[in-house]
Structure 1
Amino acid sequence: MRDRHLIHRSFSAERLQTYEAAAARMAGHTHAFELYEWNMHISCAFMLPLHTCEIVIRNAVADAIALRHGPAWPWQDGLRLSLPGSAGGYNARDELRRAAGSCSSTPSVVAGLRFAFWQHMFTQRFDQSLWSKTIQRVMPGSSDPARQTRARTFADLERVRHLRNRIAHHEPIFGRDLDEDLTTILRLVRLRCPHVGQWMQIRQTVSALLIQGPSRFTPPAASPCPNAG
């Protein structure tokens, strides 16, 4: 690769240290920045599965809440008061109050609530009040008891949330079990809709990049950078 020193300077030595150490363990088959570039591409490839997963899961939760509290659920005191004021530094009650106060429709609230809110709705406190009578309706891909499905979904969403945050903050993900990450996302999507799961599986490009690995990865051709004037 030409002008490696310029790339090293621009991306910073500190950022590339993790990749240099990993590349050294690969016995010279992969250069540090090749691993960095593969990490960028696999992170990008995960966006389609992550997008699909977050949208279908939040819609499943919104449908479950609507079955329990009605279509105008963001403004129902019954739901708001069922939420804890604070849980591990996250305040779901304030999150809903904020979103409901700044939106005029339920779909707008759904779009405005953060990933943490939807994951929080899969905590044990909602087993009876929400999931016991709704989970089979909004997640028809599940064949397990409601409590088991709810608990597994929470754990799966925790894994997805961690992956999502590392990608969002441009952190290394090459050391994760990315096959298991993709399997987890697919399992969540299939809970909501097996057809969407199949659609996602056909279109995702994560699997191809995992088969290639960083040592055999060929990045897309790019035009040369223009000389500085």
Structure 2
Amino acid sequence: MTQQKISSEQLLIARFSSARMASYLAAAGSPREALRLYRWNVEASAVLYEALHIFEVVLRNAIHEQMARWHQAQGRPGSWLTNPPPQLTQRSKDDLARAQTRAHDALTQKHLRAGTAAPAPVTDGDIIAQLTLGFWRFMLATRYTHDLWRDAIRYAFPELRHQRLTDIERPVIRLHWLRNRIAHLEPVFTRDLNLDLKSMSTAIGYVCPRTQSWFAATRTQSIKDAISAFPLSGLPGPQQATSSP
């Protein structure tokens, strides 16, 4: 039986799946240009993920620090991560319980591999490492405006003018959406990546301007280079795209 000959571009599109490549083909107009766009999307996503790493670590540490201080000031035993305040939604409490279990399991596996008798106690840092960006995004939900935000979380953002929760919630929602698209290997070429970069810088700046300066010095150019390398002419591109959130 003679195998039907197909082009390299058609083969790659089949390997990546026609469903996944449909949006690239629709935007690019040909298999060759769709693959150029797909390659750009992979490379741009990697650069964005590096920047999101910094944003997420700064965000979660800032919120945790203030929640820990508030928890202690309230005279509550243990950690807010293992003894969460009643104001938290049940979903957030469940997220914390699952993160604690995963942290314990990870430490157990680590010590089994090392041949030690018992795992070390789970620390706050171990639990934080198991929490998703979605958890921290929902710590900034407007439902907390009159309790956790007012009493604790707003102090995580000393440079936030007027201390309006929505001013930090808005960029974090946008970046949570971006992070999920990258994590699920989805296209980012329809997004305004300059606005994504600005959202990261803004959120970090609300926490610490010096960290914001370091972020700008180490990450801004790589994202701008990715934007400028957009391979297709005749399309708005990621510097002009309008996407939501």
Q: Match for residue 5 of structure 1?
A: 10
Deviation by residue 1:128-159 (Cα, 9 ceiling, x = unmatched): 333335456422232x122x1x2122221111
Separation of aligned partners in 2, 1:76 and 1:63: 15
Q: Match for residue 176 of structure 1?
A: 191
Shift of 1:178: 1.3
Question: Is this contact kept in 2: 1:68–1:130, CA < 8 A?
Answer: no
Correspondence 1:193 to 2:208:
yes
Correspondence 1:160 to 2:179:
no
Letter of the structure 2 residue corresponding to residue 111 of structure 1: A
Question: Is this contact kept in 2: 1:45–1:206, CA < 8 A?
Answer: yes
Correspondence 1:98 to 2:69:
no
Q: Match for residue 22 of structure 1?
A: 27
Q: Match for residue 83 of structure 2?
A: 76
Question: Is this contact kept in 1: 2:67–2:153, CA < 8 A?
Answer: no
Report how many aligned residue pairs link the two structures.
201
Q: Match for residue 124 of structure 1?
A: 142
Q: Match for residue 118 of structure 2?
A: none
Shift of 1:44: 0.7
Separation of aligned partners in 2, 1:96 and 1:168: 21
Q: Match for residue 55 of structure 2?
A: 53
Separation of aligned partners in 2, 1:44 and 1:166: 12
Question: Is this contact kept in 1: 2:181–2:188, CA < 8 A?
Answer: yes
List, as ranges, runs of 4+ consecutive aligned residues in structure 1 with deviation greater than 6 Å. none
Letter of the structure 1 residue corresponding to residue 162 of structure 2: P
Q: Match for residue 240 of structure 2?
A: none
CA RMSD across the alignment: 2.2
Separation of aligned partners in 1, 2:149 and 2:199: 21
Deviation by residue 1:157-198 (Cα, 9 ceiling, x = unmatched): 111111111111111110111111111111111111222222
Shift of 1:210: 0.8
Shift of 1:21: 1.1
- Residue of 29, 34, 41 corresponding to 1:32: 34
Question: Is this contact kept in 1: 2:142–2:166, CA < 8 A?
Answer: yes
Q: Match for residue 219 of structure 1?
A: none
Shift of 1:124: 2.3
Q: Which runs of 5+ in 2 are unaligned?
A: 1-6, 73-77, 105-121, 234-245
Question: Is this contact kept in 2: 1:54–1:115, CA < 8 A?
Answer: yes
Question: Is this contact kept in 2: 1:64–1:130, CA < 8 A?
Answer: no
Letter of the structure 1 residue corresponding to residue 173 of structure 2: E
Separation of aligned partners in 1, 2:41 and 2:99: 34
Letter of the structure 2 residue corresponding to residue 145 of structure 1: H
**TM-score normalised by L of structure 2:** 0.74
- Residue of 231, 238, 242 corresponding to 1:214: 231
- Aligned with 1:159: secondary structure? helix
Q: Match for residue 226 of structure 1?
A: none
Question: Is this contact kept in 1: 2:81–2:96, CA < 8 A?
Answer: yes
Question: Is this contact kept in 2: 1:22–1:32, CA < 8 A?
Answer: yes
Task: Name the stretch that deviates more: 128-137 or 48-57.
Answer: 128-137
